Amino acid sequence: MFTDVATIIKLASFGGAGICIGLGAIGAAVGEGYTAGMANLSISHKPERSGDIMKNMLVGQAVAESAGIFALVIAIVLIFMDASSTNLLTAAALFGAGICMGFGAIGSGIGSGYPGGEACLGLSRQPSVSNRLMTNMLIGSAVCQTPAIFSMVVSLMLIFKNIGDLPLAPTWAALLGAGISTGVAAIGSGMGGGMTAGASCESIARNPETLGRVTTTMLVGQAVSQTPSIFGLLVSFILMFKTFPESSTLSAAMALLGAGICMGFGGIGPGIGNGMTAQGAVKWVSRNIEAAGELMRTMLVGQAVSQSTAIYAMVISLVLVFVV
C-alpha cells in the first residue's frame, strides 16, 4: 500500500502539516487563554477599566498569535505544494519541516501570552501607565516570536532544499533530526522569553519610574534566553548542509537522529531556566533600582550556569554528528 514513493511523500507531507498546525494552535491558544484569564481577573478588580483592559487584551492576543500564523503558512505549503519528487528523502524533509514548525510555535505562543496577561493586570493596578505598559508588552511579545521565526526558517529550508543525489541513508535521519533540533529547542526559549517579558510588565505597573532599567534588563534577559534555540538552529544547519557518506547501517542514521533529539530536548530546560532567572532579576529591578547593576550581573551569571546543560546537549550532538 505504501510502497509507492509519491504516496509516501504525500503521507509525510500531510502528516507533517497536521502536526504543524495542531501543535501551533495549542501554543497560541494557551497563550491567548492566559491573557484572557488575566484580563478577567483585572476586570474583576477594576470593572471601570474594562474598556482599556479589553483593548490591551485584543492587541496582546493579536501579536501572540503570530507564531500560530507561521505554523498555518507552513501547513498550507505542505498540503498544497506540488511535490513531484521521486526521492524518498523528500518525505523525510517535509515531515521534518512540519515537526519543526509545530513544536517551534508552542513556546512562542505560550510565551507571548505572559506579557499580555501581566499587562492586563498591570492596567488595573496602574492605569496611568497604560501606554508604556502596552509598548513594553508589544516589544516583549515581538521578541518572544524569535524562536518561532527560527523554526519557520528551518522549515522552509527543509521544504525547498535541493535533495539532489544525496544518499537516502543516513540523510533521512539528518533531515528529521534538523527539524526536531530547532523545533523542540524553541519551546524553552519561547517560554523563557515570555516569562521575562511578563515580569517586566508586572514591574512597570509596580514602579513606572524604573521603566528604562526594567526594559533593558528584560531585553538582555530575553536575548540570553534565546541562546538554546540558537544552539538548536546551529545543529539543524549542520545536519541539513553536511553531506554524509552513504551507510547501510542503522547506527549511522540513529546517530544523526539522536543528535537532533539531543539538542532539541536539551534546549527546553535551559530556555525556561534562563527565563526564570531573568524574570527574577526584572522583578527585583523595579523594587530596588539602585541594585540594578548588581542584579543584571547576577542574572547573567545565573543564566550562564543554567545554560551549561544546553552546551552539554550541543557537545553531545556534535559528537554524534562528527565522531560517531
Which residues here bind another protein, judged by CB under 8 A? 21, 25-26, 28-30, 32-34, 36-37, 39-40, 43, 51-52, 54-55, 57-59, 61-63, 65-66, 68-69, 72-73, 76-77, 80-81, 131, 134-135, 138-139, 142
Of 37 and 293, nearer to another protein (C-beta) is 37
Of 133 and 257, nearer to another protein (C-beta) is 133
∠ at Cα 288 (39, 119), nearest 5°? Answer: 15
Minimum CB separation of residue 228 from another protein in Å reads 25
Minimum CB separation of residue 97 from another protein in Å reads 15
Of 215 and 274, nearer to another protein (C-beta) is 215
Sign of CA pseudo-dihedral 166, 98, 195, 132: positive
Minimum CB separation of residue 234 from another protein in Å reads 26
Minimum CB separation of residue 44 from another protein in Å reads 10
Q: Please give the grid coordinates belonging to residue 160.
A: 525547498
Between the alpha carbon of residue 261 and those of residues 27, 101, 111, the distances in Å are: 20, 15, 22
Of 19 and 57, nearer to another protein (C-beta) is 57
Minimum CB separation of residue 16 from another protein in Å reads 16
Minimum CB separation of residue 87 from another protein in Å reads 22
Of 151 and 277, nearer to another protein (C-beta) is 151
Q: Where are the alpha helices (DSSP H) in the chain?
A: 5-45, 50-64, 66-80, 89-125, 130-144, 146-160, 168-206, 211-225, 227-241, 250-287, 292-322
Distance of alpha carbon 135 from alpha carbon 221, whole angstroms: 18
Distance of alpha carbon 153 from alpha carbon 145, whole angstroms: 12
Of 134 and 184, nearer to another protein (C-beta) is 134
Please check whether residue 220 is in contact with residue 296, taking contact to mean a CB–CB distance below 8 angstroms. yes
Of 9 and 39, nearer to another protein (C-beta) is 39
Number of CB atoms found within 10 A of residue 288's CB: 12
Distance of alpha carbon 39 from alpha carbon 30, whole angstroms: 14
Of 2 and 80, nearer to another protein (C-beta) is 80
Please check whether residue 68 is in contact with residue 25, taking contact to mean a CB–CB distance below 8 angstroms. yes
Q: Which residue has the cell 491567548?
A: 32
Minimum CB separation of residue 265 from another protein in Å reads 24
Minimum CB separation of residue 47 from another protein in Å reads 11
- Residue 40: how many CA atoms within 13 Å on its side-chain side? 6
Q: Which residue has the cell 547501517?
A: 249
